[in-house]
Structure 1
Amino acid sequence: MKAIQLKAFILFFLMTTLALNLSAQDVFDLYPEDSIPNSRPGNLVEKSENNGSGRLIISGVSKPTLTAYLPDASKSNGTAVIICPGGGYRVLAAGHEGEEVAKKFNEWGVTAFVLKYRLPSDEIMENKTIGPIQDAQRAIQLVREKAKLWQLNPKQIGIMGFSAGGHLAGSATVHFDQAFISNPLKTSLRPDFSILVYPVISFADEFAHKGSREALLGKEADPAQVKFFSLENQVVKKTPPVFLVHAKDDRTVKIDNSLKLMDVLEKAKVKHDMYTYEKGGHGFGMKNPTSDVEWMKFVYQWMFDQDLILKKR
């Protein structure tokens, strides 16, 4: 009798532990140990610190990870979003463009994953131009292949990005047919939807955020790479639906980036929508200090209209 009780206790303990683990914020290595593609030994040291505004900034990333933020089980609706913080491809604004956004999605029953992607570096990469998109594709691949673990619908996995993170998310959005990683199971690398916030879209001289372009492609960028990474040139009919957010007075990343993408999405007949602020500049995260309007409410409605979330009662 005691043996039976002991077995029952062990089973209960394991089930409880599993439940607790699945409800916590877990950090996962993006790749198996010592299997990071396109990597070389380097001396980069990762740093996490708060800037003058109290925002979490991460630099020197050489080991990419995915942090899972799980909603309450009673709210979970099977939709997931992978979030790519911005930072000009030089740092990651992991707080106000990462964790804070993930927690907001959790309120809606959406499972969120914050991607700590490698920043372009000749020191740790054989080819720095593809390092970030490898990590974005791997994140999509991992979440889709492990969908059952998080009780997700593998056909409701989207990607989101801010600024240069928007360029990364956008790159994954338009280049889904070209795998930059090993994909033995032929898992779809196409996100099911894309949310781009004050994104870098074009690397053409007219609109480019030159800091992001230089960080990714170098000072003397190959024209073919400029074209490839100018996302307005890569939209096709199969491009997933896109929601954009931008402020008209953004001097860092001109709103022309989003407007140009909107134009080509329209021509390709890809579902899209956009919320535009009159003011707000760049890098405001979820809260534009110049407006009482919360753009995330429009994202919520947009996702609801596509049956990605359930409307609140």
Structure 2
Amino acid sequence: MRTLILAIALLSIWTSGLNAGRKNISAAEPIILWPNGAPGAVGKESSDIPTLTPYFAPKEKATGAAIIVCPGGGYTHLADHEGRPVAEWLNTLGITAFVLKYRLGPRYHHPAPLQDAARAIRTVRARATDWNIDPKRIGILGFSAGGHVTSTIGTHFDSGKPDASDPIERVSSRPDLMILIYPVITMREFAHAGSKRMLLGDNPSAVLVALLSNEEQVTKETPPAFLVHTANDSTVPVENSLRFAESLKRAGVPFELNIYERGPHGFGLGGKDPILSTWPQRCEQWLRVHGFNSRATK
């Protein structure tokens, strides 16, 4: 009982500090990723226009690192609690955040979300000087289906197209690290059926299933990863994170895997749960190891 009381007390102190740090944090205007229309766009509605909403870290705390946030929602919607609150938390660490509005099913299938994530990383990297961001410290964070977007760009990035007329397309889309929170990873046995259908359609080919089962796409060039899951997740089975971690280990890619005994899917930052809410603190420590919440030395 004393342990639980202490945990709750510490959580209260940490949450109060976090909320205090969020004061006066506001988003800039969303950036349209393709001003002349996204590739494969089927209309001109909001759902056809991927955007990136910046949350700039306070100047006095800014570390020069940036992380793109991909909310989950089964590739049908974007969960609010996995967007702005996460960006605000990252700001308290001195990290500039960008919330990605990527294209969704059933209106869009692969490769639209991958294209949007790649464009988001290229945009931040191309404008790094304007935004006082280190182009070598640009990460991506995703929840649930947003975790699939994250692991997809982490395993399907490219170095850019040197001859592209658009200068943004000339830079690399590789993230420097990935944060995966109860992520969808596979399109096989342990797939989240809804996400799979929205991303790949009703009858995807075996080639497409393999391509988007990201545990099968890991190489030694895949960026370091931080993973969080609960063992009893009944929506996206924990095997998604376990298999991805196994692939990272085989490839020699640094990773940290955090499996909590129990908890619902979709817990975001953990809310008031004294156990699940510890993952942001663990992640903060991991980010420090990778130089994301400290100023880079010149």
Question: What does residue 238 of structure 1 align with?
Answer: 221
Specify the SS of the correspondent of 1:77: coil
- Report the alpha carbon displacement of residue 231 of structure 1 after superposing the two structures with TM: 0.2
Question: What does residue 41 of structure 1 align with?
Answer: 43
Question: What does residue 307 of structure 1 align with?
Answer: 291
Alignment of 1:85-234 (within 5 A): 85-93=71-79, 95-122=80-107, 128-177=109-158, 184-185=166-167, 186-204=170-188, 206-234=189-217
Letter in 1 for 2:185: I
**Greater Rg, structure 1 or structure 2?**
1
Alignment of 1:10-21 (within 5 A): none
- Report the alpha carbon displacement of residue 37 of structure 1 after superposing the two structures with TM: 1.2
TM-score with structure 2 setting the length: 0.84
Q: 1:178 to 1:232 in 2, by over 3 A?
A: farther
- Report the alpha carbon displacement of residue 275 of structure 1 after superposing the two structures with TM: 1.3
Is the 8 Å Cα contact of residues 65 and 96 (structure 2) preserved in structure 1? yes
Identity across aligned pairs (percent)?
Answer: 42
Is the 8 Å Cα contact of residues 33 and 120 (structure 2) preserved in structure 1? no
Is the 8 Å Cα contact of residues 120 and 129 (structure 1) preserved in structure 2? no
Higher RCO, 1 vs 2 (CA within 8 Å, ≥6 residues apart) = 2
Q: Does 1:81 align with 2:64?
A: no
Specify the SS of the correspondent of 1:168: helix
- Report the alpha carbon displacement of residue 118 of structure 1 after superposing the two structures with TM: 1.1
Question: What does residue 245 of structure 2 align with?
Answer: 262
Question: What does residue 281 of structure 1 align with?
Answer: 264
Letter in 1 for 2:249: E
Is the 8 Å Cα contact of residues 148 and 184 (structure 2) preserved in structure 1? yes
Q: Does 1:250 align with 2:233?
A: yes
TM-score with structure 1 setting the length: 0.80
Specify the SS of the correspondent of 1:82: strand
User: CA offsets, 1:158-202, max 9 Å, x none?
Assistant: 00100000000110000013879x685420110000000000000
- Name the structure with the higher helix share: 2
In structure 1, list runs of 5 or more residues that go unmatched: 1-22, 47-60
Is the 8 Å Cα contact of residues 230 and 262 (structure 2) preserved in structure 1? yes
In structure 2, list runs of 5 or more residues that go unmatched: 1-24
Distance 1:235 1:84 in 2: 20
What RMSD, in angstroms, separates the aligned Cα atoms of the two structures? Answer: 2.0
- Report the alpha carbon displacement of residue 70 of structure 1 after superposing the two structures with TM: 1.1
Question: What does residue 14 of structure 1 align with?
Answer: none
Distance 1:85 1:133 in 2: 14
Is the 8 Å Cα contact of residues 86 and 269 (structure 2) preserved in structure 1? yes
Distance 1:168 1:29 in 2: 19
Specify the SS of the correspondent of 1:236: coil
Letter in 1 for 2:48: S
User: CA offsets, 1:78-130, max 9 Å, x none?
Assistant: 0000000000000000x2101000000100100000001111344xx5xx211
Aligned residues: 266
Distance 2:258 2:272 in 1: 16
- Report the alpha carbon displacement of residue 278 of structure 1 after superposing the two structures with TM: 0.7
Letter in 1 for 2:54: A
